[in-house]
Structures are given as C-alpha cells and as structure tokens.
Structure 1
C-alpha cells in the first residue's frame, strides 16, 4: 500500500482550532476496562466488492423525524442481512487511493456503516499519513461493548445494546499525540534536533480544567449502533462528526468512494473543483433514498445539538424543535437533493447567520453547481455593506495599502487576513517580499528595532481584518505583549484552558524580552469588520491593558470553525464548540459581541488619514 503523505493544516476564515503542540500527553485518569478483553483485528483480505451475508441479533429504531409516540411500536429485534463492500479511500490526492470496507444493513440499505475494527484502521491511516506516527489505537470487544484505547490510555466505548458512545475524556481522546495542552489552538511548535523550537515556545505553566465524561445517546436520535458476531458497527457519518471534524477533516461518501476531506479541498476560491472535488462529483446525481434522508436528518440533529457553539446564545433548545419552528423540517426530509441543499443553505446562512457557519458545497446527489449563490442573512448583509464602505474609504487614500509604513515616529502594520505558510524564515530571513503574516511581523520588527529607528508608537491596523490562521494571530499577540496568551472553552465537554507562550522575533531560537515590542507605545485600530481572529487579537489586547484600542467596536466571532458534511453529502462549515474567551475574575466569557475601543473614532475617514491619526495619537500621551 502506498500512502499519500499530507498534512491537514487549515487556513481558516476564523480562528480555527487544532491541537498540535509538542510534548507529553496530559496526566491519565483511571480508566475502567472490561474484563478479559478480546483483541479484534480487521481481516482486510476477506472483504471484497462481492456481497456477503451475515446475521446478528439486532434492534431497529424509528426515525426522529417521525411521530415520537411511534417509538414504542418499533419492530422487535430481528436478524438483518448485511452486505459488505470495499471502496476507494482518498486522502489529500486523487491518485493512489487506499481501500476501506463499509457495511450496509437491509433495514437501511443506503446508510453506510463502519465496523470499529475498520474505524481503528481508518484513524491510524489518517494520522500516520499526516505526520503523527505515534498515534495508535487498540480495539477490544467484550459482549455488546467495543472499546478503542488511545496510546495515551484514554478510551472511546461503543455499546450496541444501549446505542451509546462514551468518552471518559473526549478532549484527551481526540487530541494529536504531541500535544502538551488538553485543548490547544496553536499548531506550530516544531522541535529541532538540538531541542530548540521555531517561532513559538509554550511557557511551563497554564490553567487547565478537565471536561466532563461524555455519553452520546444515539437512541435519543433514533440512530442504531449495530452489534453482530463480528463486532460493533457505527454509521460512517457519526464517526466523521465525533472523531474527525474536531481535527478539521470530514468523511464524504458518494456511493462510489470515501473521501477524507480537509479544509478547502473541494472548491477553489475561483469556484472551480479541486481534484478531490472532481472525484466527489463524479458519482451520478439523482434522488436521495428515503432511508438515507431520514438518517441524515437524525444525524444532523445529533451533531448540531452537541457541536454548535452558539446554540444557547441563539435560544435553541434542540435542533429538532428549531427545525419545526423555522419550517425547515419538511425540506430537510425531502428526497429531492435541491430541496435538501436549499434547506441546509437557509439553515446556515439565514437562520444561524453568525458569519462563521456557512454552506460550502452541494451534495453529489444534486451535483456541482458553480452558479449557485446561497442566500444571506441580515447580519451577513450588514457586515458586507460596512466592509465595502470602509474598503472604499481606504481605497481613496491608498491604491494598495502597505503592510509596513512609518509616519514620523509612528509605525503602521496592516493586514486584512492572518496567513501562515511553510516558509522557513530562519534560513531565509524576510525582506519586504514576505509571503505571510509571520514574515510580515518579522520584517516589521526588524524595521522598528533597527539602529537609528525613529519609531516610538506602533499601530496594528486590523480595521479590515476578517480573520484567518490562528498561529499567525497568536504570533502577533506574542510579539506585542511579550508573553502571549489565549483562553479557550470546550462547550461540548466544559474543559477550559488558558495557555501562555513566547514568540521568537529576532530568530535566534531564544525567548526573552528582546523578542517583544512591549517597550513601545502600542495601539490597535479596529472596526465592525474586525472579525474572528481579527476580533480575538484586540480582545486579548484589551484584557492585557498593554495596548490602546482605537476605532469602533470589533465585529465578534467567538467560535472556532468545524468543517462538516451531512450524511446526504452537503458540505458546510459550522461555528463549533471551541469558544475563544477572555477571563475576568476567574470567569470565561465569550468574545462574540466584540470589544469596545478605548478611544472611539466616529469619522471613518480618520482611520486612513494617517498623518491626522498620528497627530491624534500624539495627543493621547
């Protein structure tokens, strides 16, 4: 087997979270284990495209979308016929796919299931192919219970009798093996052979609070976990939602193949399909089978109830109730793919309308439509109108705003997105032709601290910054404050962390006071367009009391994005359950409302008349 070596590192339109720091795992809790567990190995050579019959004592359920009173009338446990099929498995490339085995049961013949043995293989394949060779799982089965145990000894327990999935600690089970924090938004913590790190270094302290034990009751959503003599089988979509999306990939199934889809791997910014997108839409379009529609609805309710981070702020008790209240339920249960995709678009872009949750691409059942324009909610329209207005004003002052500019004794650093690349600035220090935010900050640092520099004030202009990669934002925070920090809460588990770190600004692999701009008078220019990471940075500045905020209230955006898909194949992004926070008096508060400036600039023209703004700053001394 040839593996495609790919690193699933997203460039998010928000402060996206993925745990990728270096070091040992958190302390392990005592984990209850079944007596006399039996090791089960997947026999990949015995499964082929030819259907095989199998039977087991199984139970069935009534879809959540039907009258709840009919649950008691569900048919009694019976033997279901199972068909095994092997499919190509794509990761990062449309070439040299691996293979994966799925199961289909005759009471829901269109819903793909995956055995826990095959899940073990799938997850190890993904992580070993994305530079995590120490990631390991071990499967044990005892009666109706299948248990996956990580190399850090944390477990995921699947019970086919109870239709439950239980995590002693969900955060610890899904974190990458080189993490030193239980939840961590920083990805780039590369260790060199001599023990030094590049760009970032965690401090030796952090605040951490473990989350709750989590039990997902799939029977509450009328979703079956099926037990057979060959072990437990879980819907492929459930595995995607609760084992994959937190690390920013999802599993797409189009009836002909399974695609491990990382962020932004289906449609390029010009609206054209990437290679994996072409693979996905190569399957024939058509009506959606009724059994798959009902399951997809149930799975969507399960996923959104647990993973949508703004559920309480939006006054949503359950999404089943929300779909009733918004009139979306009937359309989500349609077998017409255009109707289902239209309902998904309306849900995300109109009803949720939080600027992070958004429709990305249609189901393969509908087929790719490059001319599709999703509807927009009132918040999105208002945001875009203000963004256009502010951009037009800046364009009247600058044909192209410079990243770094000096006006007398005041340096202005401007960027509209947080971007990181794989550029090695230790080997090739940045000049004015840098390629990402870290390079731009390094260049600015060189200019500000150069011999004979007149700079006394540093202004970070985030007035048109709509977010981006969290490492870039973290680097800016660290250079401004000396000791960077962020606070994060997992709303799914109630785990919390406040982490602290340093950045290397002079590229000597040492972390000291010389790496900070904290000796200068620091300012940050913000507006309602300062969203996501463009909102996180000024919120942290505000709580630090080290940076003066100028402008108008920032645009908010508190949740890290999850990249997901429905079981019927609609691709979307969601404001997830990782909540960026600030801490006051020991309490974690979300930053969705944005932060207020210390000094309001009501005339938008004064944002970009930098001579006038410099004079205004002098008056604040």
Structure 2
C-alpha cells in the first residue's frame, strides 16, 4: 500500500480496437446526416443501431510517462454519449497506470466487473466495481484509480529530499461511494464479453484522479498533465483541435449531457458537497440552469465563471481552459458589500495592493522578484525571503544545472537564500518566510520548507470526505540537500516567522496552519484565506477543463479542516509589509510584552 500513498504525495501498449464490434451487424437503415460514413461505421448493440469510429491517442509532451502514441481507440455514440471498451481504455493509458495489475486482478461475473489492483491481502483492500446490471460504479478508495509501479513519471522527482517514515490510517472509514449512472443519464453495456462505459466517466475516474486529463475530438484523443496547464503549457491545438470538436454544434441534448456530467462530478467528488450542496448539484444550480443549458458557448462559459467564482466562493473552483476565450467575472459590476467576503475577489484585490506597495517601496527588489532571482530583504538581525509559489523543477534541470534550479524550484530557492544569509548576513537571527502572495502549488514543497525549520518529522494529516477516512503521512526532510536524512540539518539556529495575507491559499495556507499548530513558526501579517482541499481537475464533454476542491482535505490533528486560515500571532498593517526595519521593530516590541 505504500506505493499508492507515495503517489498521492507526488501529486502522476498498443491497444486493439473493440474487436467485438467487428462482428456487429451492419444494417441498411437510413443514415443520420451528422455521421460521415467515410469515418463512422454502423454497429448493432442490443438490437439497436449505433455509430462508431476510431480515434488515435497522442500524449501532449513526450517523456511525461511511458505510453505509446498512435494507439487506436474505438468510440461508440449511443444516444449522443461516447462509450468505449473498458479494457481498451485501460490499455491505452498504460504508463499513467500499470494496466497489467488491473487486468490480472479482474473478477468478472454475470453482473459486474471488479478490479482490485493492489490485491486482496489487506483487510479493506481498494476495489472498484463496474456493475452493468444496475449501471453503478462502486469504490471504497480513490487510490484504486492510480495503481502504478513507481507512480506517474512526469519527468519530475517530486519527492526528492523527502523520506517516508510512516503512514498511518487513524480511521479507515466505512463509506463506499456508489455512483448510479442512470441518475445522470448514463449507462453501461455488456456486449460480447466486453464492457462499454462512458468515455467521460473513465476520463474522470482514471484521468482526473491522476491529475491527467484526456481531450477528445472527432479523430484524436490528447492527454495533458494538470501541472502543464497550470504552468501555461496548454496543448497547442487551439482552433485547429476544437474545429473538430466532438459536437459539431451544441444542441439541447449535448447541453443536457454536459449538465448531467457536471452533476455527477459535484455530487460524488466535490470536497464541500455536504456543506454547500447537501441536496445535490441540480438543486444548488436551479437558478443557473437556463444559462448552463444555453447552446451559445459565450453564455454558458460565462455562467461557469459566475457559478465557480461568485456562487461557490472557492478559489479552487476555476476554469483552466475552454473552447473560446476563458471567461472571467467582472467584479466591477458588483457592489462592495456583495463581494467583500468573496475569496477570489479578495485575492485579486490584495494582490494589487501588495504588488503596488512593493513596487513603490523597493523597485529594485520588485524587479528581481519578478525575475525569480535570489533576493533577500534585510535589516539588522532580520531577513525576509519571499516565496511566491510552490513549484518543482524537472529532474533534468536539477541534475544538469542545480545552481540555477532555484529559478524553477521553491526548495532550492529557499535553500540558496538561507546559504546567502549565512554567508553575507551573519548577524541575522530572525527569518521571515514571506507567503503573502503565495496561492499554493505542490504541497510537497511546503513539507520540505517546514523541514527546514524543524528537525522533527512532518506529519501531513488528511481526511477523505468521500470515504470518511482519516490518517497521516510522516516524512523526514533532507534540509541541506546532502543526501543524509539523519543529520538533523534543519536551520533551527534561526527564529522563524511566516508572513501571510488573504492571498495566502491552498498549500501555502496549509504550511502556515501547520507551522502555527506545531509551534514551528510565528504567523505574522494578516489571516490567510484557507484552502482545505487539493485541486480536482476534470474535463466536461464540451471540452472545458474545470477545477474544484477535491475530497482530499488537509486537517489539524483533531480533524478540524484548515479552511478558516491561519490566525496571526502578530498583526502587521499592509503598509508595513516588505519593510524589514518596521517588521523587525514590531517583532521586537512583541517580544518585550
């Protein structure tokens, strides 16, 4: 089970077409005009005629993981919903998952297919059951969708400088997730000893859970990792790809399919579902329904933006990519009292305040900060290290050019900054790690930075709102990058402070709350914005990539979610941010009390 736990922290063969369809009956019925018979062919399933065609798989960036491009996959259109052969889909994504462990641990009955990729040695082994009789998908652990040999090889060693000490499940949880597909207009079919499952559902289960999403048009499937999207590496297909979108035009039927799929995702995978949508997605969005069902992309995309930004008030709920110009909410149309508690609005508002303040207070530092240079603010015995995000450099970058890795890797950025302090500012006793404009990123980097402040092991507590399980991962950090995890190399000679603001969110908020809860550092500035859950990315049938708060949430030891942000020990006015002289005096005055 350790392999699946490590993969959670890390963050990710030639298949045959559906051979059973080759023997399907071809009919002489009239041809639906939306199908080009040069591409599509007719098939018969359960005495009904449908159309199928083949698409080729393309991995966006070579080297992300070992998978064969050019793999063919048959797509069957059943009532305007795209279905695929489950076996062939799993073979296509071999490398993202380890397909063999699924196929070797597959139980077939007259009612269901059940996969147990980790085996059945443990008492509560992870499983996923595809019941085609009642059209349900049942699973007891999200990790069942991510079994692999060594985790996803994205070319980045996320766990470098991390040693896994212990994994403990405090409460296994007894909640089994059971998705009734027919409640959302989907189904499953057993056909000639094969199982047909909606393509979008498989993309959700096996793609989204591994931070990898597949995009389907009429002749191609392209896969891309979420870190690429967040880093601006969108798949460069643009209009050329979407000109062959699976929907030639949007219709009331395609919008219905899209709406139903959104309901399936939110009802079963949204971390705040019980809090914000106790009666389900469709009840929650009754006032959004007409706009979400509109066949005009400009209108339904704008409604996505309103739903995610205004209604949900969750910065993790966001639009990553869309078929047109990515829509945004125009906050200027709202009264201040309508948006004063909106987290996305406040993140933007205070970012502008702090960005302008720093550019005016210290233009030289501001420019270096934007260029990712090693940049330290210093006054007497206090130094400030500004950390704007949590990013991880590629394995190749660290191997071939470690001296410059700080430009792309938060751990090396902070480590090099500390070494500069040790060399050039020997009088420093207090270090402020400035997370005031940090909206998060890879939580593994937060663990590493915490390990720089203390020689104690770091325990990352998580709760799963789907299974109701609760546990923690305990890690040891090699703080000075010498390969030795047992030399107590944390920089405990300094008094540590973490500066936060309403911009501090997600993994940055986790770091601040953990440091305060474990007395590793004092929190200064203003309260952070929260961000309990990790991001769960998914692709709608209309091609839009969305993100929501997942079911995996950070907690304190007592299981309380860290959603309320880190309470500050020392309040600092925004006008005093980035001023080491004033901050130093505020800290000294606080110590005298």
Q: Which one of 221, 229, 243 corresponds to residue 206 of structure 2?
A: 243
- Partner of residue 571, structure 2: 600
- Partner of residue 436, structure 1: 409
Task: Name the SS for the 1:223 alignment partner.
Answer: coil
Task: Name the SS for the 1:395 alignment partner.
Answer: helix
Change (3 A) 1:481 1:55: same
Task: Name the SS for the 2:576 alignment partner.
Answer: helix
- Partner of residue 382, structure 1: 346
- Partner of residue 81, structure 1: 49
The Cα of 1:164 is off from its aligned counterpart by 0.6
Change (3 A) 1:432 1:127: closer
Please give the alpha-carbon distance, in whole angstroms, between the structure 2 residues aligned to 1:571 and 1:452.
47
Task: Name the SS for the 2:314 alignment partner.
Answer: coil
The Cα of 1:541 is off from its aligned counterpart by 0.7
1:184-199 aligned at under 5 Å gives the runs: 188=157, 198-199=160-161
Task: Name the SS for the 1:88 alignment partner.
Answer: strand
Q: Does 1:137 find its partner at 2:103?
A: yes
State the TM-score, normalizing by the size of structure 1.
Answer: 0.78
Q: Does 1:459 find its partner at 2:432?
A: yes
- Partner of residue 29, structure 2: none
- Partner of residue 562, structure 1: 536
Please give the alpha-carbon distance, in whole angstroms, between the structure 1 residues aligned to 2:234 and 2:209.
24
Task: Name the SS for the 1:488 alignment partner.
Answer: strand
Question: Is the CA contact 1:167–1:173 (under 8 Å) kept in the aligned structure 2?
Answer: no
Q: Does 1:342 find its partner at 2:342?
A: no
Change (3 A) 1:502 1:405: farther
Q: Which one of 83, 101, 117 corresponds to residue 150 of structure 1?
A: 117
Task: Name the SS for the 1:489 alignment partner.
Answer: strand
Q: Does 1:308 find its partner at 2:270?
A: yes
Please give the alpha-carbon distance, in whole angstroms, between the structure 2 residues aligned to 1:142 and 1:226.
14
Task: Name the SS for the 1:563 alignment partner.
Answer: strand
- Partner of residue 614, structure 1: 584
- Partner of residue 257, structure 2: 295
Please give the alpha-carbon distance, in whole angstroms, between the structure 2 residues aligned to 1:462 and 1:565.
31
Deviates more, 1:507-516 or 1:203-212: 203-212
The Cα of 1:80 is off from its aligned counterpart by 2.4
- Partner of residue 167, structure 1: 139
Deviations 1:512-567 (A, max 9, x none): 35321233211111111211222111100110112111111112111211111212
Task: Name the SS for the 2:282 alignment partner.
Answer: helix
Please give the alpha-carbon distance, in whole angstroms, between the structure 2 residues aligned to 1:516 and 1:266.
34
Question: Is the CA contact 2:137–2:180 (under 8 Å) kept in the aligned structure 1?
Answer: yes
1:20-59 aligned at under 5 Å gives the runs: 51-56=41-46
Please give the alpha-carbon distance, in whole angstroms, between the structure 1 residues aligned to 2:468 and 2:149.
21
Change (3 A) 1:547 1:93: closer
Deviations 1:571-617 (A, max 9, x none): 2111222112222xxx311112111101112x222222211211222
Task: Name the SS for the 1:394 alignment partner.
Answer: helix
Question: Is the CA contact 1:19–1:175 (under 8 Å) kept in the aligned structure 2?
Answer: no
Deviations 1:70-124 (A, max 9, x none): xxxxxxxxx322333210212124995432122222xx0x211012222321332
Please give the alpha-carbon distance, in whole angstroms, between the structure 1 residues aligned to 2:406 and 2:202.
43
Q: Which one of 369, 372, 393 corresponds to residue 325 of structure 2?
A: 369
User: Which consecutive unaligned segments of at least 5 residues does structure 1 have?
Assistant: 1-16, 23-40, 57-78, 180-186, 191-197
Question: Is the CA contact 2:60–2:235 (under 8 Å) kept in the aligned structure 1?
Answer: no
Change (3 A) 1:592 1:343: same
Please give the alpha-carbon distance, in whole angstroms, between the structure 1 residues aligned to 2:564 and 2:485.
34
- Partner of residue 281, structure 1: 242
Change (3 A) 1:222 1:497: same
Q: Does 1:588 find its partner at 2:549?
A: no
The Cα of 1:140 is off from its aligned counterpart by 4.5
Please give the alpha-carbon distance, in whole angstroms, between the structure 2 residues aligned to 1:189 and 1:147.
32
Q: Which one of 155, 171, 178 corresponds to residue 215 of structure 1?
A: 178
Please give the alpha-carbon distance, in whole angstroms, between the structure 1 residues aligned to 2:148 and 2:565.
31
Change (3 A) 1:360 1:126: same
Change (3 A) 1:597 1:467: same
Question: Is the CA contact 2:480–2:490 (under 8 Å) kept in the aligned structure 1?
Answer: no
Deviations 1:36-91 (A, max 9, x none): xxxxx9566776855242332xxxxxxxxxxxxxxxxxxxxxx3223332102121
- Partner of residue 30, structure 2: none
- Partner of residue 517, structure 2: 543
The Cα of 1:228 is off from its aligned counterpart by 2.2
Change (3 A) 1:425 1:221: closer
Q: Which one of 323, 327, 333 corresponds to residue 293 of structure 2?
A: 333
- Residue-pair matches, total: 532
- Partner of residue 196, structure 2: 233
Change (3 A) 1:230 1:333: farther
Q: Does 1:414 find its partner at 2:386?
A: yes
Greater RCO structure (CA 8 Å; 6+ sep): 1
Question: Is the CA contact 2:346–2:503 (under 8 Å) kept in the aligned structure 1?
Answer: no
Please give the alpha-carbon distance, in whole angstroms, between the structure 1 residues aligned to 2:207 and 2:554.
20
The Cα of 1:570 is off from its aligned counterpart by 1.9
User: Which consecutive unaligned segments of at least 5 residues does structure 2 have?
Assistant: 1-5, 23-38, 63-67, 121-125, 370-374
- Partner of residue 65, structure 2: none
Please give the alpha-carbon distance, in whole angstroms, between the structure 1 residues aligned to 2:138 and 2:89.
16
Change (3 A) 1:173 1:431: closer
